[in-house]
Amino acid sequence: MSDRVVILGAGQAGVQVAATLRDEGFQGGVTMLGDEPHPPYQRPPLSKAFLKGAIECERLHLKPPAFYADRDIDLRLGVRAGRIDLRAGRIETTDGEDVAYDALVIATGTRPRIPSVPGRDLGNVFALRSIADVEALRPAACGMDRFVIVGGGYIGLEVAAVLREMGKAVTIVEAEDRLLKRVTSVPVSQYFDALHRAHGVEIVTNARVAGLAGDGVVTGVLLASGRTIPADAVLLAIGALPNVEAAHDAGIATGDGILVDAHGRTSAPNIFACGDCARFPSRRYGRSVRIESVQNAIDQAKCVGATLAGHPVAHDPVPWFWSDQYRTKLQIAGLFDAADAVSIDGTPGEGPFSVEYRRAGKLVAVDAIDNARAHMLARRRIADETARDAAPAPVTQSG
């Protein structure tokens, strides 16, 4: 067992590792380094209630301040970790102080992917990952009228819903031929396309952004088709990149994520990774996966914390996720892209419905729309049916 565990990244996964270490009776030192000024906080409300101004910043905090003191967790905020020296067991930090570790957990999350198009540095061009991002975006959301959202994924659609509720004109520009293509099937994409159009959102699919126009501040989005969409503000929401650089530079194996085994161990001794930045082998789905969700961050962090405390637990969950848009709740269980058959229970647009995904007759995923019961049942059914299929999955660099 290690004497001093250092956790790099004070987010959802980082705080859960610290909590689990103490819950599992770990008596050694626990230090958490976070580069943001805020105590660990939840991100889902950033594109929902917090953006709307419906909740205060403090409501985002994952734990009250006393939590860290009571459990002797040394939480250091505003400190960015730099080079990891594997041989010496030390991390350089931006506050000039090296931090020594016996075991290190990398939980550095992701950052927004920014397209390399001209004009991306103009004023009133935003991305959304942190409280600071919302604090930058909110004045524009309140004071401006015309928004273009580049990217029709969850974050783009949730922000579109908030902006429409604030009465703003919103255009979504999507490179694919449908919204949410990376994460769900055609019927669910069609449902959300219709939902947003019914709320007055303009949706432009098959649209490649050639650049952002403006002089100092953005005035429009230029499409490769030659069309320019006027904009007072632009949100870039085309996905996220895992923060793997510290691990990669230290010689730890990375691909799209830091490669870990079922216990969160990286290729380097005594170095673990978990949460959005980690790619792990899913026996259930027969391949390696990197999942960006609260559930995955918590569950994987619990496994890492327990393993470090001497009670190894393997991580192979049924992933689940949710998204709130207007008054509609989408709940996703499992990974839909493993499926070879799709069926719909209910009628989209006429109340709750769910879409089931099967592979070789076994349930691998369910998207439930306004149907919490179907979602909860699905998690159990998928767990049962995919457990029977479980086979070792190699950690590879591709999804």
Ligand X SMILES: Cc1cc2nc3c(=O)[nH]c(=O)nc-3n(C[C@H](O)[C@H](O)[C@H](O)COP(=O)(O)OP(=O)(O)OC[C@H]3O[C@@H](n4cnc5c(N)ncnc54)[C@H](O)[C@@H]3O)c2cc1C
Positions that interact with ligand X (CB under 6 A): 8-14, 33-36, 43-44, 46-47, 80-81, 107-109, 128-129, 155, 243, 246, 275-277, 292-295, 297, 321-323
At its nearest, how many Å lie between ligand X and the CB of residue 224? 27
Nearer to ligand X, 43 or 178 (CB): 43
At its nearest, how many Å lie between ligand X and the CB of residue 291? 8
Q: Which amino acid is at 140?
A: A
At its nearest, how many Å lie between ligand X and the CB of residue 246? 5
Structure tokens at 197: 């159009």
At its nearest, how many Å lie between ligand X and the CB of residue 385? 22
At its nearest, how many Å lie between ligand X and the CB of residue 85? 14
Nearer to ligand X, 112 or 119 (CB): 112
Nearer to ligand X, 35 or 174 (CB): 35
Nearer to ligand X, 155 or 309 (CB): 155
Q: Can you tell me the distance from the alpha carbon of 62 to that of 359, in angstroms, rounded to the nearest whole number?
A: 37
Nearer to ligand X, 44 or 89 (CB): 44
Q: Can you tell me the distance from the alpha carbon of 301 to that of 307, in angstroms, rounded to the nearest whole number?
A: 10
Q: How far apart are the first and last CA of the chain?
A: 33
**52: helix, coil or strand?**
helix
State which residue has the least CB distance to ligand X.
11
Structure tokens at 261: 């085994």
Write the burial class of residue 160 (CB in 10 Å: 0-12 exposed, 13-18 middle, 19+ buried). Answer: buried
Nearest CA to 321 among 378, 281, 244?
A: 378
Compute the radius of gyration of the chain from its Cα atoms: 22
Alpha helices in 309-390 (DSSP H): 372-387
Q: Can you tell me the distance from the alpha carbon of 316 to that of 71, in angstroms, rounded to the nearest whole number?
A: 28
CB atoms within 10 A of CB 203: 21
Q: Can you tell me the distance from the alpha carbon of 342 to that of 320, in angstroms, rounded to the nearest whole number?
A: 18
Q: Can you tell me the distance from the alpha carbon of 393 to that of 391, in angstroms, rounded to the nearest whole number?
A: 6
Nearest CA to 11 among 129, 131, 109, 105?
A: 109
Nearer to ligand X, 222 or 247 (CB): 247
Would strands 146-150 and 169-173 be described as parallel, antiparallel, or unpaired?
Answer: parallel
At its nearest, how many Å lie between ligand X and the CB of residue 16? 8
Nearer to ligand X, 222 or 237 (CB): 237
At its nearest, how many Å lie between ligand X and the CB of residue 365? 15
Nearer to ligand X, 46 or 259 (CB): 46
Sign of the C-alpha dihedral computed for residues 26, 30, 34 and 38 taken in this order? positive
At its nearest, how many Å lie between ligand X and the CB of residue 330? 9
